[in-house]
Structure 1
Amino acid sequence: MIDNDLAQTGLTFAAGFGALLVFMGVGLAYALRRHLLSIVDTLWGLGFVVVALVSALVSLGGDGGRAQRWIVLAMVAVWGLRLAWHVGGRNSGAGEDPRYADLLQKGEAAGRSFATTAVTRVFVPQGVAMFIVSAPLMVGPNNDRMSVPLAVLGILVWAVGLFFETVGDAQLKAYKSDPANRGKIMDTGLWSLTRHPNYFGDACVWWGIGLVGAGSWPGLVALVGPAIMTYSLVNVTGAKLNELGQRKKPGWDDYVRRTSYFVPLPPKR
């Protein structure tokens, strides 16, 4: 029984890896054709939906919990499709993202072609990160039982995260749409509780998915993805990188002093 479960989980991981390889390969071809790296930001949310769907279908051949399989897929689909819609709409017609433009400029200075930079600096690293973070999507559907308390807790944490991410993005979009706010710091709404409500929400979403997937002790592997995602959001590609471009705005130091970095807290006087 255990050998069958391990074999089924291994098959799910292999299928997830293959699906991501094809998905990112198609995305890379599109980026090369359009000469646009920022498409990878839209692919980020969609890639997890692809892995979750493939994992759910492949796990049908095992003894995993039926409810757990579809709950995880539904949670990822709602999050990933919303994120892809938001990012895709934001980037449509905007040209290359400044982050990728800077990356391409440095690559050109180092003698790297657009294709080389796209593969080695963007698509391969993002693909590897997506596969690792997708652990709960491939482990959860193969758990032989579901912990109801963990599942309820996970759905609640996921809902809190989706609220912060969705509302935070909407508030920021509305703020930026007003020309009077150009060059100013967004410090109202959820942005008065944390400097990064969208990234905090992202972390909560993945901890929620991980908790639903961790229905038995082997399922604790599902928590690897949320842990890595949270570390990246806090210290690498998320909040930390975002603040590098914010520090030049007037009033930034005051905003930092009164507003929590990541976890929402009442603003300081």
Structure 2
Amino acid sequence: MRSFQWSDFLLVSGGSLLATAVLMVVTALIGARVGRHSVVDVTWGGGFVLIALVSATVGTGEAWRRTLMLAIVGIWGLRLAWHVFRRSLGKGEDPRYEELLSKATGNTTLYALRKIYLTQAVALWFVSLPIQVSAVAGDSVGVVAAVGVLLWVVGLTFEAVGDAQLNAFKADTSNKGKIMDRGLWSWTRHPNYFGDALVWWAIFLVSASAWPGVATLLSPIAMTYFLVFATGARLLERSMAERPGYREYQRRTSYFLPMPPTNT
């Protein structure tokens, strides 16, 4: 059985941190150029793909697991980056970042570097620890990795189908002013965020199939917290709360975990 080598992990983790730092600096320059720091949301998905690529290339763990991790992170991350890019075309700054930058007392760019890009870089590195550890871990328990892949399929389906259903709903001009409550959106108010959370628990399971991947448990917990309580569903709920019909939608539809809609 191959033992975990800390020197190999430090090489992968250091390379991932350096790649993330470069990516965020480039993104910050682009954001300053176009006057829209929400470009970092596109980088979020792509950043995980970059870390998975570095980990797969530099890592010394089992080749099939490194390849598998690169594939599941790559498919998820590139789909998310493309989705966010298309959604943001022709739009201005995200209200979240406008509110954050309004608190700047000095140079706005330096403030954005610290509050937006540095924060995202640290989150990227921490949440991606299962990817990094998996790249240098020892022998795998195949059944655990297989369960992770199955969970990933479910999560990606929820996320992609939820986004597609919402896009189709918004594209229909007859739905203007209405609340999306069809398809997956009738079972959970946030099928895309729910799917995203499942994907990261799946990535954790693939990593946990080999020691010490199980020790990266805090990474999927952190991502789930972001999605449910911090920058994801809870923030969106606050912005939607006063929309006509949204209170009724909240009463009959589960907040996060998919459940049959209730009659009110």
Alignment TM class, shorter chain as reference: over 0.9
What is the alpha-carbon distance in structure 2 between the residues aligned to residue 187 and residue 145 of structure 1? Answer: 45
Note the C-alpha offset of 1:138. Answer: 0.2
- Compute the displacement of 1:34 (Å): 1.6
Show CA shifts across 1:111-167 (max 9, x none).
233203311221111111111000011011111111111111100111101001001
Kept after mapping to 2: 8 A contact 1:195/1:261: yes
Q: Does 1:91 align with 2:76?
A: no
Q: Deviation at 1:4?
A: 6.5
Q: Which string of whole-angstrom CA distances, capped at 9 and with x for unpartnered residues, describes residues 71-109 of structure 1?
A: 0000000000001111001111212122222223333xx
Residue pairs, 1:1-269, within 5 angstroms: 5-59=5-59, 62=60, 64-107=61-104, 111-269=105-263
- The answer to whether the 8 Å contact 1:135/1:221 transfers is no
Secondary structure of 1:38's aligned partner: helix
Distance 1:217 1:4, change over 3 A: closer
Residues 187-223 of structure 1 deviation map (CA, whole Å, 9 limit, x = unaligned): 1110000000000000001111110011234111333
Aligned 8 A contact 2:4 2:211 in 1? no
Aligned length: 263
Q: Distance between the aligned counterparts of 1:71 and 1:223, measured in 2?
A: 19
Assess if the C-alpha contact under 8 Å between 1:246 and 1:252 holds in 2.
yes
Structure 1's 157 and 4: CA in aligned 2 closer, same or farther, altered over 3 A?
closer
Task: Supply the distance in 2 between the matched residues of 1:95 and 1:21 (Cα, whole angstroms).
Answer: 25
Distance in structure 2 (CA, Å) of the matches to 1:218 and 1:263: 29
Residue identity (%): 48
Structure 1 residues not aligned, in runs of 5+: none
- In 2, Cα distance between equivalents of 1:4 and 1:172: 44
Q: What is the SS of the residue equivalent to 2:212?
A: helix
Judging changes above 3 Å, is the alpha-carbon distance between structure 1 residues 192 and 3 closer, same or farther for their aligned structure 2 residues? closer
The letter for the 2-side match of 1:142 is: V
Alpha-carbon distance in structure 1 between the residues aligned to 2:129 and 2:109: 29
Relative to the length of structure 2, the TM-score reads: 0.95
TM-score scaled to structure 1, two decimals? 0.93
**Aligned-pair RMSD on alpha carbons?**
1.5
